[in-house]
Structure 1
Amino acid sequence: MRKVRDYDAELRALNDKAKALKARKVQQLGELVTSTGADALDLDTLAGALIAAVESASADEREAWRAKGAAFFQQRGRRAGKGNAGGRQGGGETPTGETPR
């Protein structure tokens, strides 16, 4: 005899997982803003810069930004590997080595 599936419980579990993933994404974006020093900008300037990046149609410009971001994370990884783990900002998990897409 087949076991009856509890669709409501499965849906609740999926919703909880989606909420956790969204919260993690928001936390990582906040850590990214802090680690790059962008938290020193006022909100209007930061929002304007992000909107310009999203609206940019130039593939060359986006590739230059991607390369600069990858170099930033590689540089942070090398600094952390030299025994300076206490000097890292954020306190949580940082996506070093990952390239956001």
Structure 2
Amino acid sequence: MRKPRDYDAELKALEDKAKELRNRKVLGLGELVIATGADALSAEELAGALVVLAETTDAGKRDAWAKRGVAFFQGRSRRSAPAPDRDNGGAQTQPGSAPQVSGSTGTA
């Protein structure tokens, strides 16, 4: 005779795993906000920018943003200077736009 399954224990284990995955995602996103310097924005500015990003369906813009993201991560792995000392190539940012990553060619 087979041992009956403990559905409550299995459900609890799945809930615990889902909670851990959510916590990791939140920590990772927080680290990303800090690494990009977006933590200098107010919560309202950051939320507004993220809403615009999430609502954007223009594939060209999304592709350009993805390329800038790749350049950001590749540049970070080679950089040893702390964030405030980095030179962003003299690129000026406009209000409501993300700072230019050095060496990127995409437009926001």
Give the TM interval when normalised to the shorter protein.
0.7 to 0.9
TM-score relative to the length of structure 1: 0.75
User: Which structure carries more relative contact order (alpha carbon 8 Å, separation 6+)?
Assistant: 1
CA deviation vs aligned residue, 1:14-62 (integer Å, no higher than 9, x gap): 0000001011111111000000000001111111111111111210000
Deviation beyond 6 Å, 4+ runs, structure 1:
none
Q: Distance in 1 between matches of 2:43 and 2:13?
A: 35
Q: Which secondary structure state, in structure 1, belongs to the residue aligned with residue 67 of structure 2?
A: helix
Percentage identity across paired residues of the two chains: 60
Q: Which secondary structure state, in structure 2, belongs to the residue aligned with residue 68 of structure 1?
A: helix
Decide which structure has greater helix share: 1
5+ residue gaps in structure 1?
A: 89-101
Q: Aligned-residue CA RMSD in angstroms? A: 1.5
TM-score relative to the length of structure 2: 0.70
Q: CA deviation at 1:76?
A: 1.2
